[in-house]
A and B are shown apart, each in its own frame.
Chain A
Amino acid sequence: NAGVMQNPRHLVRRRGQEARLRCSPMKGHSHVYWYRQLPEEGLKFMVYLQKENIIDESGMPKERFSAEFPKEGPSILRIQQVVRGDSAAYFCASSVRQAAYEQYFGPGTRLTVT
């Protein structure tokens, strides 16, 4: 059983470039959450998606950040015109349904903006 998969594991971008982070949930899971972890801090919720729907994006910055979870393929977190403050670890978690609560995390993508 494959767990939650994220790629790339490490991503380096220069200021002003775009970053695309991908997440494939566990088999059978249709709910995806994205969290951001700044150095030596806890994880902060960004966005919650189901297939083709954004359910809650209250934790995501209004500008430059967007997320999608298409009918086919992985969930994508997109950061446009990256700045140094975007450097962090971005984690994706999946669950089988909303009310199931248990969320299983992927290994994360560590974004470095130079």
Chain B
Amino acid sequence: GENVEQHPSTLSVQEGDSAVIKCTYSDSASNYFPWYKQELGKGPQLIIDIRSNVGEKKDQRIAVTLNKTAKHFSLHITETQPEDSAVYFCAASEETSGSRLTFGEGTQLTVNP
């Protein structure tokens, strides 16, 4: 089955700096890679996703890159703000598995004002 590893487990940055979170996956058949933001006591919120036919996707201050050959993908947040502080999860799925998501262990991002 699919295995997703995520690094780092904690990340602390100053407001305005960039933050990068990296994930690797094991199943070359995976073709969909979403990122979720989870605030304390809440459910995961989909913030951006990328499919395997695309190498990069951007939405305002957040971007995701995908390297299918190396089987890794990354989340980039620019101009970080205190409200970006949360736990971020990467995930992977592929259609024949019913699209169930396999999650990384999460990254606790803290943006210091």
Q: Scoring B residues 85 to 102 as 1 if CB is less than 8 Å from chain A, else 0, what string do you get?
A: 000010001010111111
- A42 touching B42 by the CB < 8 A rule? no
- A-facing mask of B1-38, CB < 8 A → 1, else 0? 00000100000000000000000000000001010100
A105 touches B36 (CB 8 A): yes
A105-B43 CB under 8 A given contacts A41-B105, A43-B89: yes
Within 8 A of B (CB), among A50-68: 55-56, 59
* A108 touches B (CB below 8 Å): yes
Contact A101 B49 (CB under 8 A): yes
From A13-21, A73-81, A91-99, the one touching the partner chain is A91-99
Could you count the A-B residue pairs with CB atoms below 8 Å apart for me: how many are there? 65
Q: Is the CB of A45 within 8 A of B101?
A: yes
B residues with a Cβ closer than 8 A to A are 6, 32, 34, 36, 42-46, 49, 51, 89, 93, 95, 97-106
21 A-B Cβ contacts within 8 A? Answer: A6-B43, A33-B100, A33-B101, A35-B101, A42-B103, A42-B105, A43-B89, A43-B103, A45-B102, A48-B98, A48-B99, A59-B100, A98-B95, A98-B99, A101-B49, A101-B93, A102-B34, A104-B46, A105-B36, A105-B43, A106-B43
